[in-house]
Amino acid sequence: MYRRGLQTLLILLIVLSISSLVYSVAVTRQEIASSRLGRHLTRAETRFQQRAVQFENDENVLALLDRTEAAPAPVSPPPAPQDNGRECVSDQGLRVRWDWASESQGVVVWTFQNPTNESGAVVLNRGILEQPGSTYCLGDAFWPAYITNNLAFIANGPYPALSGANPNLPLAAIGRDSRTICFVFTLDPGGNFELPEGGFVGISPQCTALLDVRFLNDINMTISYNQATQCNGFDGNTNCPPNPLQTSIPLYQPHSGKAAGAFEPTISSGSGFVCFSGESWVERTDGSRVLLRDLQVGDQVMTLSMSTASGGRVQRPTRVSGFVDRLVHTKPIAYLRVVTGNHVIEITKNHLIWATTEPAEPGIFLQAQRLHPGMYLRGASDELERIERIERVWRSDAFAPLTDTGTLLVNGVLVSCYGNLESHRIAHAAFAPLRLIHRLQHWCTDHHVAGFALVGDHPAVSEKAYGIHPYARMLVRLYALVRFLSGGTLHTL
């Protein structure tokens, strides 16, 4: 009787979880748009490493860009060329044109121009005039070799405008749903940029489309590539990036059209919920500290919550109901080490932490990657802690405890239990069924009800219990499905 009732309850909880996520999806954009802090946050522009390279006098650049391999076969057919492929114009009015620099050596120069009054970013689809159907976006074919030869880089977006004769170009993922790795050319109003390209001995390039693109956000991606063709095939290059390459990369969306791809890399968005290193600590109700690696389900730890009496935040206990993610003895994980005057916290960049840009602002939970020196965190005594510096460190474990309130104090700093999603309130609503399941499990354990247990959430956890919680993994997949059905208009995880 108990078991049948519990099975029925589990079905209801699954239905509730789907309803919670659909509700979360419906209000995501409104939640983010209404944030007061969003008006004050700015992205620190990524500065290019300027290299004084004058094309006419730099034979090394010519030699490095020159290649004799035939262009790879495309995945999709090219758009119709304009003016026999000599010049392209984007919807916004940006232009690109190629001219011979050395026809005998097969080297051309692409000249990008922005004659408009607004900044713009574009991606170039180009092919070979003598090889119909050879279109792919510039940067796609040999991006792994470009990275190792200092011809390309990946950094946080949005990318600043290009200037001078700089062969070190920014790479980005283009397209929400079918991501292709391409160069992004950002130009200020009236700006110009020249790029030499080799490999056209006996053939001519063809401009097929110049796509306007806009920055969406930085995403975590794991990108596999064809090492023999895309790296070793570039002038016999032997120094290749890790394959697959795990990186944070800017995601840009075309205004219209699609970035053509010569290759279809195996790409996956990061979906891990790793949050804090095992050396991080929380405080129990008796004032003692416990490392996250030693934290147990059922422990009472401290958090901050609003007090109606004082009008401020006061400490209160909250129960650890489970873990969203647990990793031990894993490959190195990148953390942001955020240092204030009195506290140091190590947190993965997509995890939510309370912050504000000004002491008078109310503050919100935001992803740690949006922090910068001069912002303020919330300390355990409800005081504001000014960020002095942010460093990157590497650790070999990670823990993401889940509490009843959805918040806790880690190393004396107020943080959320959630990551990857932009909104703490929406994430907390989506995890409500899991918290209810944990409470039910706890009640069944106390009342000796057999046949109901969540593997991995018992204090005597086995090695197999580590990793992303099945419920969290299910939410990621369900969110991806809803986002696909919505046409990709929702914020990516």
Q: What is the mean pLDDT of residues 362-390?
A: 93
What CA–CA distance (Å, rounded) separates 141 from 121?
20
pLDDT in tens, 59-91: 333 333 333 333 333 333 334 444 567 999 999
What CA–CA distance (Å, rounded) separates 69 from 54?
25
Does residue 40 have a pLDDT over 50?
no
Q: Which residues have C-beta within 8 Å of that of residue 54, sequence separation ≥ 6?
A: 165
Predicted pLDDT at 53: 32
Which of 352, 350, 351, 376 has the alpha carbon at shortest distance from 363? 376
- Chain position carrying tokens 């006419």: 56
- Label residue 329 by pLDDT band (50, 70, 90): low
Contact in structure between 421 and 337 (CB atoms under 8 Å): no
Predicted pLDDT at 134: 78
Read off the pTM: 0.47
439 — phi, psi (to 5°)? -65, -40
pLDDT in tens, 202-212: 999 999 999 99
More confident residue, 420 or 463: 420
What CA–CA distance (Å, rounded) separates 438 from 401?
13
Residue type, 165: A
Predicted pLDDT at 445: 61
Mean pLDDT in the chain? 76
What domains can you pick out in the chain, each with its CATH number? 2-41+274-485 (2.170.16.10), 55-269 (no CATH)
Q: For residue 108, with 0-12 CB atoms within 10 Å meaning exposed, 13-18 middle and 19 or more buried, which class applies? A: buried
Predicted pLDDT at 61: 35
pLDDT in tens, 439-465: 776 666 655 544 444 434 433 333 334
Q: What is the mean pLDDT of residues 250-259?
A: 91
